[in-house]
C-alpha cells in the first residue's frame, strides 16, 4: 500500500498524533501550556471556531464556500447585544434565540441566491458579506456596545459553567452530537454528501439539489448567528468589525480536518481535530514568543499546505484504486 493511501486511512489518527507531538514540543518550550487553566482557555476559545467549522463543513461538502459568516456573526451579535442593552431584564436564552434567528435569515437569503439564483457561492457570499457588514455598521450607527452596557446575565452566557465545564464548550459539544447524528444517520444528512460528490446523479436520483443547497447555507447562517451571540457575550463587546476575516480561520479548520474542497467528503471527527489544532496554534504561538504579526502568514501557509497535502493524498488513493482494479 502506498504511503499516501495509508495516510488517508488513518488521517484522523495522524492528525491526532500531530496534535500530540505539537503539544509536547510547545510544552517543552513553555511549561505553562499544558496547565488545566490554559487548556480550559484553549477549549473555550476554540468552541466558537468549532461551531462555525461544522457548518462550514456542510457548505464545503456541497462544493460551496461561505465567506459571509464573519459578517453574519457580527450582525447577529450586534443585534442581540443592542437588544439586551435596551431591555436588560431579557432572558439570555431569548438573546441567543434572537441572534440565531437573525443568522438563519441571513443564511437563508444567501441560500436562495445560491440554490435558486444559481449564483456562484464565492460571488454570492462575497457580495452578501459586504451587505451584512455594512448593515452591522448601520444598525449600530458605528458605535460599540461595550461591557458596561450589557447585563450580567448576558455576559454570563460565556462565563458560566455547568458540571465544571464552560458553557461555550458544552454548547459546542451539544451541536457536535446533533450534527453527528444529522449527517450520518438522517436521510437529509446523507443527501448533502450525495449532492456534493455528484450533483448530476443526485438530481437524477430524485434529490432536490436546490433544497439541499438552501438548507446548508441556512444551517451555516444559523450557526453563525448563534456564534455571534456567544462571541459578543465572551468578549463583552459588540463592534462593527467583530470577527472580520474570521471566515478564513473557519475554512482553515475545515481544510486541516480533511474536508475536501472539491466536495463530497468530510468528517465531523476531522473537523473537531482541525479546530483544536488551529486553536492550539492560536493559543500557543504567543506562548512560544512568535510575533503576533507573523500569525496571519503562518495561518495562511498552514491552509495552503493542508489543501496541497489533501490533494496529494487523494492522488495516492486514486492511484491505489487504479492499481487494484488492474489486477
In the complex, the residues that contact other proteins under the rule CB under 8 A are 65, 113, 117-120, 122-124, 126-131, 133-135, 137-138, 142, 240, 248, 251, 255, 261-262, 291, 293-301, 303-304, 307-308, 311, 314-315
Which residue number, 230 or 251, has a Cβ lying nearer to other proteins? Answer: 251
Query: In angstroms, what is the minimal distance from the CB of 4 to other proteins?
Result: 13
CB of 130 to other proteins, least distance (A): 3
Name the packing angle between helices 209-235 and 92-111 (round to 10°): 140
Taking phi over 0 as left and psi of -120 to 50 as alpha, with beta for the rest, 39 belongs to: alpha
What radius of gyration do the chain's Cα atoms show?
20
User: For residues 102 and 175, which CB has a smaller minimum distance to other proteins in the complex?
Assistant: 102
- Residue 162 or 297 having the CB closest to other proteins: 297
Residue 291 buriedness (CB in 10 A; 0-12 / 13-18 / 19+): exposed
Min dist. Cβ of residue 228 to other proteins (A): 18
d(CA 275, CA 272) in angstroms, rounded, equals 5
Q: First CA to last CA across the chain, in angstroms?
A: 14
Q: Is the Cβ of residue 136 or residue 167 nearer to other proteins in the bound state? A: 136
The least distance separating other proteins from the CB of residue 216, rounded to whole angstroms, comes to 17
- Closest approach of Cβ 112 to other proteins, in Å? 10
**Rounded Cα distance, 173 and 50, in Å:** 9
Tell me how far apart the alpha carbons of residues 169 and 159 are, in angstroms, rounded to a whole number.
11
The gap from C-alpha 65 to its chain's centroid, in whole angstroms, comes to 11
Cα 236 from Cα 38, distance rounded (Å): 20
CA 310 to chain CA centroid, Å, is: 19
Of 135 and 223, the one with the shorter C-beta distance to other proteins is 135
Q: Using alpha carbons, select from 7, 263, 259 the residue that is nearest to residue 121.
A: 263
For residue 264, the minimal CB distance to other proteins (Å) is 12
State in angstroms the smallest separation of the CB of 193 from other proteins.
Answer: 18
CB of 213 to other proteins, least distance (A): 15
Residue closer to other proteins by CB (options 13, 305) is: 305
- Beta carbon of residue 54, minimum distance to other proteins (angstroms, whole number): 19
Q: What is the Cα–Cα distance from 195 to 110, expressed in whole angstroms?
A: 18
CA distance 230 to 244: 16
DSSP letters of 266-291? --HHHHHHHHHHHHHHHHHHHHTT--
Do residues 84 and 98 lie in contact, with contact meaning Cβ atoms separated by under 8 Å?
Answer: no
Residue with cell 486553536: 279
Amino acid at each position: 500500500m502506498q504511503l499516501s493511501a495509508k495516510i488517508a486511512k488513518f488521517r484522523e489518527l495522524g492528525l491526532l498524533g500531530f496534535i500530540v507531538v505539537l503539544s509536547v514540543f510547545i510544552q517543552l518550550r513553555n511549561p505553562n501550556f499544558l496547565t488545566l487553566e490554559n487548556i480550559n482557555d484553549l477549549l473555550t476559545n476554540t468552541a466558537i471556531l468549532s461551531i462555525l467549522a461544522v457548518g462550514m463543513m456542510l457548505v464545503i461538502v456541497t462544493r460551496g464556500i461561505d465567506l459571509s459568516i464573519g459578517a453574519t456573526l457580527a450582525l447577529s451579535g450586534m443585534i442581540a447585544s443592542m437588544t439586551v442593552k435596551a431591555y436588560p431584564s431579557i432572558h439570555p436564552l431569548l438573546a441567543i434565540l434572537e441572534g440565531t434567528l437573525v443568522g438563519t435569515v441571513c443564511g437563508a437569503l444567501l441560500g436562495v441566491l445560491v440554490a435558486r439564483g444559481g449564483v456562484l457561492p464565492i460571488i454570492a457570499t462575497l457580495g452578501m458579506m459586504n451587505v451584512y457588514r455594512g448593515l452591522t455598521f448601520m444598525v449600530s450607527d458605528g458605535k460599540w456596545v461595550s461591557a458596561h452596557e450589557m447585563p450580567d446575565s448576558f455576559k454570563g452566557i460565556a462565563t458560566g459553567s455547568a458540571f465544571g465545564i464552560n458553557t461555550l464548550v458544552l454548547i459546542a459539544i451539544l451541536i457536535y452530537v446533533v450534527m453527528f447524528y444529522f449527517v450520518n444517520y438522517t436521510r437529509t444528512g446523507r443527501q448533502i454528501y450525495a449532492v456534493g460528490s455528484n450533483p448530476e446523479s443526485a438530481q437524477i436520483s430524485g434529490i432536490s439539489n436546490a433544497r439541499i443547497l438552501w438548507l446548508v447555507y441556512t444551517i451555516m447562517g444559523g450557526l453563525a448567528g448563534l456564534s455571534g451571540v456567544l462571541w459578543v457575550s465572551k468578549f463583552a463587546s459588540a463592534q462593527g468589525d467583530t470577527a472580520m476575516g474570521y471566515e478564513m480561520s473557519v475554512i482553515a479548520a475545515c481544510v486541516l480536518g480533511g474536508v475536501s474542497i472539491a466536495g463530497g467528503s468530510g468528517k465531523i471527527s476531522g473537523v473537531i481535530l482541525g479546530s483544536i489544532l488551529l486553536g492550539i496554534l492560536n493559543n500557543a504561538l504567543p506562548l512560544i514568543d512568535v510575533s503576533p504579526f507573523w500569525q496571519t502568514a503562518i495561518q495562511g501557509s498552514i491552509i495552503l499546505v493542508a489543501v496541497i497535502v489533501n490533494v496529494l493524498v487523494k492522488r495516492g488513493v486514486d492511484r491505489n484504486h487504479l492499481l487494484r482494479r488492474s489486477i
